[in-house]
Amino acid sequence: MIKNVVEQMQQMAAMAATRPAAPMAGLAPASGSFATELQRSLARVSQAQEAAYAQAQAYELGMPGVSLDQVMIESQKAGIAFQATVQVRNRLIAAYQEISSMPV
């Protein structure tokens, strides 16, 4: 399920990168594009999930210095980051559908 959501977000980022944005008058250009920021965010969520998994594995193997509370905190961080990513995806899809249904 996680990979499916990440793949959908990456596809949306790729679509956003291929379409040139219309310049808005009076606004300075951003240092990074939306697609770039989206990819960075996805990478951070993926890193958080991998860190949580690594912490859990270390705890299960009985490695010294890894406590259960650290494992739970990392797991919750990764879960919250993933939930936020899903909500962003849902809002992006809703916005895209709303815009695509507008008359030209």
d(CA 48, CA 79): 9
User: Structure tokens of 38?
Assistant: 């989206």
Q: What confidence score (pLDDT) does residue 27 get?
A: 46
Q: Would you give the distance in Å from CA 76 to the centre of its chain?
A: 15
SS3 for 31? coil
Which pTM value belongs to this model?
Answer: 0.62
Q: What stretches in the chain show pLDDT beneath 70?
A: 1-10, 12-31
Q: What confidence score (pLDDT) does residue 12 get?
A: 65
